[in-house]
Each structure stands twice: as C-alpha cells, then as structure tokens.
Amino acid sequence: MNESSALIARLKRIATTGMPTQGDGRADDAWLTQGMAKAQLHEVFATVDDAASGAGFAVASVLAARAAPVMWLRTEASERQGGRLHATGLVEMGLDVTSLVLAVVEDEADLLRAAADAARCHGLGTLLIESWGRAPKIDLTATRRLMLAAEASGVTILSLRIGAETVPSAAASRWQVAACRSRPLEADAPGKPAFDIELLRRRGGQAGLRWRVEWDRDAYIFDQTAFASGDPAALPGAGIPVAADRAAADDAAASVRRTG
Amino acid sequence: MRPHLFVGRAETPVAFVETMSGGVRLKALDREAVRAGLQPGLTLADARARVPELEVYEHDAHADHEWLERLADGCQRYTPSVALDEPDGLILDIAGCVHEFEGERRLAADLEERLARRGLLVRHAFGDTPDTARALARYAGAPAPDEKRAVKRLPVAALGLDEDATTALSRAGLKTVGDVMARPLATIAARFGEEAAMMIRRLDGSVKGPIIARRTVARIGVERRFAEPIARTEYALEVLAELATEAVAQLADRHEGGRRWEARLFRADGLVQRLRIETGQPTRDVALLMRLFRERIDSLADPLDPGFGYDLVRLDVALAEKLDASQLKLEGGEAQKGEVAQLVDQLGTRLGRARVRRFSARDSHIPEQAELMLPAAEAPAPTPWSAPETGEPPLRPIYLFDPPQPIESMMAEVPDGPPHRFRWRRTVHDVAHSEGPERIAGEWWRRQDIPTRDYYRIEDRRGRRFWIFRHGLYSEMEAPRWYLHGVFA
C-alpha cells in the first residue's frame, strides 16, 4: 500500500469516528455518549403529547451516562400542565431518587436564575431544566451562559423543552424525542419504554440521524437490537431513517391543540 | 399610638376613646387635651362639651402594643435584654452595656433624642432593680440625693397596688413609700395583702424582680457601631461580612457551626431591618453566608432602604450545632454532597424552602399518597425505595396528575376491561396494548365511601403509554368514570 492510499484510509477512519455505528450490539451506546458529551448543554425537544417520552429519555440518558446526582428544575406551569414528577415511576426508570433534588420555581425568569446557580455547582452530575411552551427567555444568550457554566463546572445540562419550537441556541446537541410503540409483552401488555430519537443538530458532528431504541433499565443502556429483530412493531434496523412512519404519526398529531 | 399625629401638628387637642359599658369614654389624651382640662375616664359627650375642637380617635390597644414592640426592637441597639412594661413602658437592662456611651446618662440622652425625633416624649429613670427604675420613672417624688431616698419619697401609688389599697394607705397617714417602709412588714402584709409586702421588698432592693426579656439572647452575637451612619447598603454588607468572620471564629472555638443567622441593620431613625437565613447543615463558611444574605436581600418584597443610614449592624447566631473541624475536610462523595447541600440552601433562601424538595417514600398504597415531597433543607434520612423487579417494564408513570384528569371512554368496553378508544385533552387515542386491572382499593380504614380504582397500563397506536383507571366497580355504581392518572416514558 503506498503512502497516499494509507492516508486516505486514515482520513476515512477519522471521518467515520463520531458517526453512530449502525445495528451494532446492545452494549454499545456510543452514539449516545458521543452525542451527549459530559459538561455540555444539550437540548431535548418533545411535543406536548410526548412530554413523558422526552422526560423519560432525559432521565435514561442521565443514567446511561452515569451522570447522577440530578437536580431537576421545573416551573409551576410544568406542574400544572404536565403533572407532578412521580418518584416511584422515576425509580422504575432506574433513577435513585434519594439523590434527586427537585426545585419548582414560579416562572421562566426564576428558572434561568436557579439554573445559573445550579450549573455552577460541582457537586451535581446533571442539571435537568424542564420548560413548557415557547419559553422565549431560553434564547441564544441564555443557552450560551449555561454552556459556559457547564464547561467550567463539569455539570451536564439537559434542557428539556416540551412543546417548544427550535430556536438558535448554543447547545452542543439537539435531540427530538417521540414515543414509539413498544414491543408488547405477554398477554398484550405494553412493553419497556421505547423512543423514537432524532439527532437534529450536533456541534462539529453529523446530524439528522434517527434511532429507535428501547430503554433497558436493568442494564442501564439503550437497546437498539430490540427493533432490529423483525418485530412487527419495529422498523428494520436501527440508525435507519424512520421518516415514513413518523410522518404518519405526525399527521395524526396535527389535530392536537396545545392545552393550557 | 400614632406617632405621626404628634409631629409638627397644629395645636389641636387629641383624645383616644374607648367604648365601655357606660358609653364612650376618654382613654388617652395628648398634652393639649390635658392642658384644656380633660381627664381620662370622662365621657366623650362631656369632653366635647368642654373642648369642642377635640379630635377623637378610636383607641387601639393592639396597635399600641405593636408600636411598643417596635420601640423595643429599636432599643436593642443598647442592650439585648429589653422588656415591655405595658402599656407604655420599656425596661432596659443596661448592666455592662454602657461602655459604648461613656456612662448611663449619655445612653439615656441618646435614647431620648432618638425617640424625640419620632415625636415621643419619654421619662426615664435608673434603678438598681427593674422595680425601682420603673417606680422612679412612673411616679414623681420629692428631690432626693440618692436612689434609696428617692424611692422613699415616692407617693404610695408607686407601690402599684389597687385603688382601694392606695386610698386606704393614704387615709392611714402613709403618704410616701418611705412611710410604708417604716412600718413592720408583717402589719402591712396583714392589712394590705402579701402583694403590698412583696412590692416593698422589691422597692427597697431586698428582692430583685426579674426582667422578662422579650427575646432570648443569642448565644453568639457580634456588632459594629458607627459614629457616622453609613448610607450605602453595599458597605453595610461588607461590615456584615466582617462580623460573620468574627462570629465564625467564635463558633470555631466552640467546635460549632451556625444554622440560623440573623442580621439586624439599625437605621439612624430607629427602624430595624432584619435579615434571617437558615442553612440545612451547620456552617462556618463566610462566603456561603454572604451569598445567602445577598439572596435574602434580593428576595425582599421591599428593597433594603438605608434611609439616613445605618448606625449599628448586628449579627446573631440564633442556632448553632456541633461542627468539628474534621468535618470540614470533606472528600470525594462527601464534598459533592456538601456542595449540593449548599446549592439547596442557596435556592431555598431565594425561592422559599418549600420549593426545593426531595422525595421521601411513605407507607401508603394510594399512588398519589405513596410519596412525600419534603423541603430538601430538612434532609430526612434517605428512605429506601423498593427496587423495581428485573425484566419488568415500569409499572408506574413518571408524571402523575394530581388530581387525575377525567377522560371520555368512547367505545363500549368489555366489563372490567379498559376502553378501546378514549379522548383526553381533545385528542382521541386508540388503545393498542393494555395490561390490567391492578386493583387499588380506597383506604377503607380511613374513609368508607371511597370507590375502588381499577388501573390499566395502556399504549395507544402511536406508542404513548398511559396509566388510566376506572373510578369504581360496576357492582359499586352504575356508570363509573374513567380517569387518566399519569403518563409513562
């Protein structure tokens, strides 16, 4: 092999690292850990109907990254519209709620102020900021501040944005999460939490990728193989765009009006 | 009392009235009214007839008390031990507190000047015991060279006995306290009661009545006085930081850390501004304290107003707990916990303690009652949560609606089965998978009439997972309603 072809091979290798690997074993969640680097700000978007999926994905990715303890910030509006956080349910997702601190603030301004303080606290693993609706105060400036704070303190910040439109931000990555039909258990019972995930944007990396994953609470990993095994509810293979199916789902969601 | 009434007014007589069984009577008067010949106890009609221009206000004992409390607050600049002598007196224990003023007379002059600025006329007296001081201030006797003789020259009214006893003493020819003291105590006690004898012993100094101070004195208190009032809040905070450093040094000597701190900023015009902070763990961290004080100031409804400036800043440690030096050297996980605890305190101070919470398991099988959210600062011992069963999907939602949200079941369900289609928040959901029922009975040992709930875990055709229940069995009621209680991830 001459030198130039070796170089090309090396460049190819470099170009492919950071890209999610497709259809690999269940123990490999590199796509997530690379996408959601620690000590950065990441955004997780979900529609109002998929609020629980958004929150579930956020909690699961904290656990997959072993980034506890968690501080969860939310507003009173979230409590009203989205319901309270249910500790037993969080425990069943795999979270140790004894280390969870929940702060319910009055409005968005308080949310950002509390977030600014929490983002500087080295003792935290993850700061989860939950906001409902457009939340215009969480703008480019605010996200840039959070990003800087996260980089300085080492706290991973997840901004869970429910029912929001994407606006320019300084986040390292942006994810869209929707509920996905689970693999039913015996007697037609709903199965483990399943998510339809799209990486909308990622700083310095490939974006526009989609996965369909199942959360395995016992192993603390996202399982991609679940939907690769020819299950009728699943799509053929992980990492392959699932646009066709989602378009149908979105069509049905169009009749939904935002409540509250 | 309404002090503004007395400052810079036209000289109209003012009276406060009280409605009693015998009609409306005068309760208190100002100087002008007294000069016009009025007396407390007169009926309002009589007083109006004598002084037509009399201004009349309803007497408000409660407001008087509050005003006295505020004055007492202000007097804490002189001594931590201030007692109320209702309805219009204050007793200050100034033993050991006069060094700041080069003598008690300077202190009294300072106090009088401050109160005069508020439009108050005061009469003061010094005494070896609270009772002699009180008697000397309230009653005027003939001039005397020293305290003992001054007390003896007070009128018998100074004994504070009831009216009948006082009159009886005068009739017996005993005009002054000294006259009464000259008699054998036993005779006085037999004739006028034990109370009179006790009072005499208190006035001659053989028994010392206690001062019942309004507030318990903090165990550690540091303060700084200024000859010139400081008008900048920022500077006052710098002083507070210095005081905190001093207090922390004292705490360190005792191997303690403070949990409750109170800073008081005394304004030159007598107003006192209080800042209270509390931490979840005992602390000796000055930077943390100052951050909390700043949070407290930011969260004040009325911003801190220095007015004419502060002339005294005081910091008290109201509650201290054991904190060994070794505990400060936190490492690894402990340091992490410490930092989170600090964050909890900081957010709790700004947002209110109840807003920053931790979950705590509770023994109840009713889902919405099975857990408590407690203020994180109160730090209960972590309760173990039952671990989920391996291989099972989550059986409880992550968001729970409280109260549960009603849903409309749209397709006839099989008895004791979940609906096939339902409407929630104006969206129709078609049920694809379901599991249930999980029957959760009401806590019948608390209340009888709570219907049983049959819970189902369902997933709709778009993959959204819900927790719904039917409120009541078909055997219990005719048409039980359906509710959505939570949503799963």
pLDDT in tens, B110-133: 888 888 887 788 888 888 888 888
pLDDT tops 50 at residue B184: yes
Provide the domain limits for residue A209: 37-259
Q: Which amino acid is at B34?
A: V
Residue B211 confidence class, pLDDT cut points 50, 70, 90 = low
pLDDT tops 50 at residue A236: no
> Does A28 reside within a domain?
no
DSSP letters for A119-188: HT-TT-SEEEEEEES--TTSSHHHHHHHHHHHHHH--EEEEEEES--------SEEEEEEE------GGG
Q: Please give the average per-residue pLDDT across A132-152, as a whole number.
A: 93
Residue A161 confidence class, pLDDT cut points 50, 70, 90 = very high
Residue A26 confidence class, pLDDT cut points 50, 70, 90 = very low
Residue B216 confidence class, pLDDT cut points 50, 70, 90 = low
Interface of B with A in 314-343 (CB under 8 A): 335-340, 342-343
CB nearest B358 (choices: A101, A194, A249) = A101
Instruction: Indicate the number of domains in chain A.
Output: 1
* pLDDT of res. B218: 63
Maximum separation of any 2 CA atoms in chain A, in Å: 66
Q: At what angle do helices A108-119 and A140-153 cross, to 10 degrees?
A: 20
Residue B157 confidence class, pLDDT cut points 50, 70, 90 = confident
pLDDT tops 70 at residue B349: yes
Quote the Cα angle for A53-A54-A57, to 5°: 80
Identify the weakest region by mean pLDDT among A129-133, A228-232, B208-212, B399-403. A228-232
B225 in A contact zone (CB under 8 Å): no
Residues A38-77 have pLDDT tens digits of 899 999 999 999 999 999 999 999 998 888 899 999 999 9
* pLDDT of res. B407: 92
Q: Is the peptide bond before B437 cis (omega within 30 degrees of 0)?
A: yes
pLDDT tops 80 at residue B466: yes
Q: Given an 8 Å threshold on Cβ–Cβ distance, is B355 in contact with A113? A: no
Of the two residues A201 and B7, the one the predictor is more confident about is A201
C-alpha gyration radius of chain B: 35
pLDDT tops 90 at residue A191: yes
CB nearest A189 (choices: B359, B435, B462) = B435
Q: Which helix (H) or strand (E) holds A59?
A: helix A51-64
* pLDDT of res. A20: 40
* pLDDT of res. B217: 56
Q: Given an 8 Å threshold on Cβ–Cβ distance, is A85 in contact with B376? A: no
Residue in chain B nearest A255 by alpha carbon: B427
* pLDDT of res. B300: 81
Chain A: closest CA distance from residue B425 (Å): 7
> Does A16 reside within a domain?
no
Identify the weakest region by mean pLDDT among A13-22, B130-139, B389-398, B432-441. A13-22
Structure tokens that stand for A31 in this block: 């796509």
Q: How far apart are CA B360 and CA A110, in angstroms?
A: 25
> Does A195 reside within a domain?
yes
pLDDT tops 50 at residue A259: no
Domain CATH code at residue A139? 3.40.50.300
Write out chain A residues lying below 8 Å of B458, CB-based.
190
Residue in chain B nearest A50 by alpha carbon: B464
> Does A173 reside within a domain?
yes
Q: Given an 8 Å threshold on Cβ–Cβ distance, is B489 in contact with A55? A: yes
Q: Please give the average per-residue pLDDT across A128-135, as a whole number.
A: 93
Chain B: closest CA distance from residue A3 (Å): 49
Q: Given an 8 Å threshold on Cβ–Cβ distance, is A83 in contact with B399? A: yes
Average confidence score pLDDT of chain B = 82
Residues B354-373 have pLDDT tens digits of 899 888 877 777 777 777 77
CB nearest A102 (choices: B340, B357, B486) = B357
Q: How far apart are CA B94 and CA B107, in angstroms?
A: 9
DSSP letters for B186-222: HHHHHHH-HHHHHHHHHHTTSS-PPP--SSPPPSEEE
CA distances (Å), A58 to each of A49, A117, B108, B398, B445, in order? 16, 21, 67, 12, 40
* pLDDT of res. B9: 56
* pLDDT of res. B124: 86
Burial class (CB in 10 A: 0-12, 13-18, 19+), A42: buried
> Does A15 reside within a domain?
no
Q: Given an 8 Å threshold on Cβ–Cβ distance, is A114 in contact with B489? A: no
Average confidence score pLDDT of chain A = 80
pLDDT tops 90 at residue A235: no
* Selection from B478, B480, B454 nearest residue B468 by Cα: B454
Residue B308 confidence class, pLDDT cut points 50, 70, 90 = confident
As beta bridge partners, residue B371 has: B361
**Which of A73, A76, A86, A235 to mutate to probe the B interface, most B CBs <10 Å?**
A86
Q: Given an 8 Å threshold on Cβ–Cβ distance, is B398 in contact with A93? A: yes
Q: Please give the average per-residue pLDDT across A198-219, as a whole number.
A: 88
pLDDT tops 70 at residue A234: no
ipTM of the complex: 0.79
pLDDT tops 90 at residue A163: yes
Chain A: closest CA distance from residue B325 (Å): 21
Backbone angles phi, psi at B233, to 5 degrees: -60, -40
Write out chain A residues lying below 8 Å of B366, CB-based.
none
First to last CA, chain B: 63
**Contact between residue B362 and residue B373 where contact means Cβ atoms under 8 Å apart:** no
Of the two residues B343 and A259, the one the predictor is more confident about is B343
* pLDDT of res. A108: 92
B59 in A contact zone (CB under 8 Å): no
> Does A4 reside within a domain?
no
* pLDDT of res. A244: 34
* pLDDT of res. B185: 82
